[in-house]
């Protein structure tokens, strides 16, 4: 069992009041009925599309790179849909950070709203007792992915610590999962390589989000949607060091007449991975991501400057 993230009294000073205001709004959003949460999220997204000009410009350029076959009007429509999806991610964050699972994990969320496909691939990988690295790229459904995964197994989530200490505290606390046996599992900082390797070597499961730009030592240039981008070969290196199994995982938000539902898909554990060629391995992962992105393109995180563009 781990301890809760540590609260610092300095978080109460005026320097952080703006963040607390935003967290208060998130808390209010969590109290809305399920359908109202997402209607509000869409409105937030539409507002962001109008006022977040820098992020909108990044998204437009990314979509131009990824989908050159689409017309400008089609890409603009997709960009607007993306911002609505981004707004809905705040509704999902409210569900994860302040949902029933914080006190009653067994009865958290309406399980009928979630469909798991390829669950046998996860169970097969877990049964090998070799450690399982679950790859979950940056879709706007990111926050709920961790909660849904906790319905199936115990796991550790890797995250990038926030530069703002209060935000880092809130993210770590919000993403912590308390299971029915009383165990609380906190996210692991991506800088804590030793702990990450220890988790996998002990045969446990861990999630990793390896698809964002990477400019630190060891970066490799690998194409994503046919254009090279600075990428992190860490997945191959971790798999080599721990002999773990690598299972891709994708969560999709589905709009139905009855409201928003979710599909969580597990792919089979990757065979012959790592291959010994980090660039080839990363390119292989990128092709998997591309296939998943094309299924719900509006739900990928296009506001991230993935290709490190000079805008």
The residue segments making up the domain with residue 106 are 9-299
Residue 130, domain member (yes or no): yes
Residue 201: pLDDT over 70: yes
Confidence of residue 167 (pLDDT cuts 50, 70, 90): very high
pTM, two decimals, is 0.91
Mean pLDDT, the chain, rounded, equals 91
Residue 276 makes CB contacts below 8 A (sequence gap 6+) with none
Residue 96: pLDDT over 90: no
Backbone angles phi, psi at 193, to 5 degrees: -60, -40
Average of per-residue pLDDT across 192-213? 92
218: alpha, beta or left? (left if phi > 0; alpha if psi -120 to 50): left
Task: Specify the pLDDT at position 212.
Answer: 87
Q: pLDDT per residue over 270-310, tens digit each? A: 999 999 999 999 999 999 999 999 999 999 999 999 998 88
Residue 308, domain member (yes or no): no
Confidence of residue 3 (pLDDT cuts 50, 70, 90): very low
**What percentage of the chain carries pLDDT values higher than 90?**
70
Residue 276, domain member (yes or no): yes
Residue 218, domain member (yes or no): yes
Average of per-residue pLDDT across 42-59? 96
Residue 141: pLDDT over 70: yes
Residue 4, domain member (yes or no): no
Domain count, the chain: 1
Residue 181, domain member (yes or no): yes
Backbone angles phi, psi at 264, to 5 degrees: -110, 120
SS (H, E, C) 191-254: CCHHHHHHHHHCCCEEEECCCCCCCCCCCEEEEECCEEEEECCHHHHHHHHHCCEEEEEEEEEE
Residue 260, domain member (yes or no): yes
Residue 309, domain member (yes or no): no
Average of per-residue pLDDT across 104-123? 84
Q: pLDDT per residue over 215-242, tens digit each? A: 888 899 999 999 999 999 999 999 999 9
Q: How far apart are CA 290 and CA 62, in angstroms?
A: 13
Is 264 in contact with 42 (CB distance < 8 Å)? no
Give the E-state strand segments of 142-200 in sequence order: 156-159, 177-178, 184-185, 188-189
Task: Specify the pLDDT at position 4.
Answer: 54
Q: What is the largest CA-CA distance in the chain?
A: 53
């Amino acid at each position: 069992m781990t301890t809760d993230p540590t609260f610092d009294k300095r978080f109460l000073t005026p320097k952080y009041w703006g963040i607390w205001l935003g967290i208060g709004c998130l808390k209010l959003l969590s109290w809305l009925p399920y359908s109202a949460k997402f209607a509000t999220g869409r409105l937030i997204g539409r507002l962001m599309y109008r006022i977040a000009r820098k992020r909108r410009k990044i998204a437009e350029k990314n979509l131009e790179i990824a989908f050159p076959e689409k017309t400008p009007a089609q890409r603009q429509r997709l960009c607007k849909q993306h911002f609505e999806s981004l707004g809905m991610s705040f509704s999902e964050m409210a569900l994860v950070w302040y949902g029933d699972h914080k006190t009653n994990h067994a009865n958290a969320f309406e399980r009928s709203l979630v469909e798991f496909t390829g669950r046998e691939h996860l169970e097969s990988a877990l049964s090998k007792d070799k450690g399982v690295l679950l790859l979950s790229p940056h879709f706007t459904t990111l926050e709920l992915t961790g909660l849904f995964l906790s319905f199936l197994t115990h796991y550790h989530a890797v995250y990038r610590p926030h530069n703002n200490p209060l935000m880092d505290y809130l993210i770590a606390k919000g993403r912590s999962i308390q299971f029915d046996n009383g165990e609380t599992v906190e996210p692991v900082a991506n800088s804590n390589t030793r702990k990450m390797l220890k988790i996998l070597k002990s045969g446990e499961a861990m999630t990793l989000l390896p698809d964002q730009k990477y400019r630190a030592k060891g970066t490799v240039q690998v194409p994503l949607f046919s254009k090279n981008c600075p990428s992190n070969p860490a997945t191959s290196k971790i798999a080599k060091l721990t002999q773990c199994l690598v299972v891709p995982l994708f969560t999709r938000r589905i709009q139905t007449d009855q409201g928003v539902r979710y599909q969580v898909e597990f792919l089979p554990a990757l065979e012959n991975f790592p291959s010994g060629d980090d660039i080839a391995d990363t390119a292989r992962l990128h092709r998997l991501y591309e296939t998943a992105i094309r299924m719900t393109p509006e739900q990928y995180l296009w506001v991230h400057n993935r290709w490190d563009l000079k805008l």
